[in-house]
Amino acid sequence: MAAGILQSLDKTLKVFSAGVKPEIAVNRFAVQAMAEVGIDISANTPKPVEKFCGEDWDYVITLCQKANQNCPAFVGQVKQRWHLGFDDPADAKGTDDEILSVYRKSRDEIKEAFEAFYNSQILGRHSCGCCG
């Protein structure tokens, strides 16, 4: 979801997503929650983070606590590493409606955090909006 959100903010960004324990397919609840805000992630494919560890990155961003704790070392140059701590919606239990509600909450939290990240780090704007 995070990659879809960040890419939606700026189509010129090169955004890659990977997980410490990737699933076989993108979670259907994630696809549905993102579709509700006009972002299609249905064609995405989960990838292992190890695939990217030897490359150079402007940013490496971990989102869930277990990802931050279990993320392998990046041997390529990483200009900045960020951790934005969110509960992992994949851990949600309950009915489909209850699980989808957790994904919506995560989507909204991630969207808010990545909009602030994009404005401050990519555009160099303060969160107060005073710089244009």
Predicted TM-score (pTM) of the model is 0.83
Altogether, the residues listed in the chain come to a count of 132
The tens digit of pLDDT for each residue in 53-90 reads 889 999 988 887 666 666 667 778 889 888 888 888 99
Both structure tokens of 79: 């200009």
Architecture of the structural domain at 2-122: 3-Layer(aba) Sandwich (3.40)
SS3 19: strand
Q: What span, in angstroms and rounded, lies between the C-alpha atoms of 85 and 66? A: 9
What Cα–Cα distance (Å) separates residue 19 from each residue in 8, 22, 37, 98, 101? 20, 5, 23, 24, 22
Q: Is residue 131's pLDDT more than 60? A: no
Angle in degrees, CA 111, 41, 25, rounded to 5: 120
Q: What span, in angstroms and rounded, lies between the C-alpha atoms of 33 and 12? A: 24
pLDDT bucket at 132, cuts 50 / 70 / 90:
very low
